[in-house]
Structure 1
Amino acid sequence: MPKYLVQASYTPEGMKGLLAEGGSGRRAAVQQAVASCGGTLESMYFAYGETDLYCIVDFPDPLAMATVAMTVRASGALQSTATPLLAVEDIDEAAKKAVAFRPPGN
């Protein structure tokens, strides 16, 4: 299954919800949202700084990730990015493929 790194920052309203529910409550909510689209939550960490939350999630396809991302962002509780993650073996396979590319000026 495709794997993603999700980074999120809470809005002030979202942070109020986190303070009310605690981390365990938010983890349960994330697990439920991810599972509702056929995915699994591999790991979840809170941080402080510009980014408040880091998650590694697996989804059956990119559309499932998009569905969850759009729904969560539409809530206004947080801003997020989802970065596709590639396994070492995926990079090995990609490195073997030929690409028809000519740099500018050549």
Structure 2
Amino acid sequence: MVSRDNNGEILAARAGTRVGTSPLKGEALALRLGVLLAEDHCWETAIFQSDAQVLIDQLSHSEVLPDWIIEEDVLYLKSRWQEHPNWQFCWIPSEANGLAHEVAHWCRRMDVVSDE
């Protein structure tokens, strides 16, 4: 997960690990890490971007039931979103999400799980 300011400058990055093989679960973890970072820094306004359309749909549309593998994450993220109405969750194409993926891959290769 990479955090940038409105000029595109990197503010922080976080990475985490989970045992499993689901890319969707990994995307949900990245959003959770982003939410935790925003709360740690008391950011009142934040835009969380993900290239996981399924995840963003489950967050944005109440009529879409959460996929069982990320249900806990979706419910958590929705609860945080209710507490922070100026936050946004939006989908971006995977081509625009390269830096976050590179950070995650680097952390996995280097066995790094940390923040900032």
Bigger Rg over Cα: 1
**Greater strand proportion:** 1
**Greater helix proportion:** 2
Same fold, TM exceeding 0.5? Answer: no
Q: TM-score range by the shorter chain?
A: under 0.3
- How does the TM-score come out when normalised to structure 1? 0.27
